[in-house]
Amino acid sequence: MRPIPFLCTCLLVPAILSPPLTAQNPGDALEKKHVTVYYEPGRFGGWPANHGLWAWGNEILVGFSRGYYKDLGPERHNIDREKPEEHWLARSKDGGETWQWEDPSRGGVLMARGQALHGTVPAGILKEPVPLEKPIDFLHPDLALTFRMLHVDTGPSLLYYSYDRGRTWSGPFRLKVGEMTRIAARTDYQVLDRNSCLVFLTAAKSNNREGRVFCAKTSDGGRTWNFVSWIGPEPKGIDIMPASVRLSPGEFLVTSRRQEESRRWIDAYRSADNGKSWTFLNTAVSDTGEGNPPSLIRLRDGRLCLTYGFRAMPYGICARLSSDGGNSWGAPIVLRNDGGGRDLGYVRSVQRPDGKVVTIYYFLDRQKPERYIAATIWDPSPAR
């Protein structure tokens, strides 16, 4: 089974307004369970959407940043930038119920449920990036592919891949798209065939500021990437962090994080020609508080599931469902609204073989100051 990159339930309405999170919401009737994926006292765990999520049945792998907690006030990410930030992985083999931590940069002792264990370590993570010479087999059953950036405004961007479900990695490889520079890569891609893949990225705007979403393609296993199209016009503010689904062999839907002045929302675009051109579809979420990126998956019953963090009172994690390919979206489903502040979200979701959705995000609760990685396991089945 190839990795799959998510979910909700309700009456469908046009995507116009997103009401704030309240105690009375369609999510109240859902079966759901909150699980801690990663937490360490004195540490900061963050931003799964920057790293990626992959799944093979009930085996789920998610990347995240592990830093040191530092109180910088309620308006800032509470991570100590003067200390190292590591890129870690968490793996579950039981559909997200329990997790083990893995450090892909070096060997040594890792942790699972607070107990020491030894893990295998991906090779080459700290090397200087080089061009990719051997093509990637995008149909390999145990493929994990990740796109990363070194700086949000300037890049450069990198590519890694694994053929053993993220236990060992090849890379880093330079990610170049034609003559483009200043690409801010995060992990969102759609495999087309053994040699071909679409990747959805963010580039600097014409003023060299963040950012504008575009689509690129490789037909030679990742050795070269070519620009395909911009997704939407150049914004006055920012349009970043795309999340995509494939609706049919040549049809794709992309959602992205938008910001203009004080407004933050999520827009949706559709392509019917393999990403060559895009049409604005609708505003899938009209209000995300202070802004948060979307995660988008297609459920096995054909519905689309959009999940995202809500950075305003009451802080939490939400989902919306569409049963008509994104033309309309159900009312927001509140998966949780017990956040302790704005520093949360960056969601990634996946559907388990039993139909439940595992939504993974970083979180700040009201009991402890550290940010940590959490998951909500929930059933998106339509209400009966």
What is the residue extent of each domain of the chain? 12-378
> Which pLDDT band, with edges at 50, 70 and 90, does 252 fall under?
very high
User: How many Å apart are CA 187 and CA 295, to the nearest integer?
Assistant: 11
Provide mean pLDDT across the span 110-126: 37
CB 75 within 8 A of CB 342: yes
Examine the pLDDT at 323 and tell me if it is beyond 80: yes
By DSSP bridging, strand 189-191 and strand 170-174 are unpaired
Q: How far is CA 85 from CA 68, 79, 81, in A?
A: 7, 9, 8
Angle at 335 between CA 332 and CA 338, to 5 degrees: 115
What is the mean pLDDT of the segment spanning 203-223? 95
* The residue to which tokens 């049945």 are assigned: 57
Tell me the residue ranges of DSSP E strands in 311-352. 316-322, 329-330, 333-336, 345-351
Q: What is the structure's pLDDT at 10?
A: 32
* Section 175-185 average pLDDT: 91
Is pTM beyond 0.75? Reply is yes
Q: Which residue has the higher pLDDT, 4 or 154?
A: 154
Check residue 96 and give its pLDDT.
98
User: Nearest 5 degrees, angle CA 245-CA 264-CA 44?
Assistant: 80
Question: How far is 293 from 295, CA to CA, in rounded Å?
Answer: 7
Q: Is the pLDDT of residue 74 over 80?
A: yes
Could you report the per-residue pLDDT of 272-294, keeping only the tens digit for each?
999 999 999 999 999 999 999 99
How far, in Å, CA of 115 to CA of 337, rounded?
31
In degrees, rounded to 5, the angle at the alpha carbon of residue 214 between the alpha carbons of residues 373 and 76 is 35
Tokens for 164, please give them.
Answer: 């053993």
Beta carbons within 8 Å of 282's beta carbon, 6+ residues apart: 14, 15, 267, 268, 326, 327, 328, 329
Fold of 12-378: Neuraminidase (2.120.10)
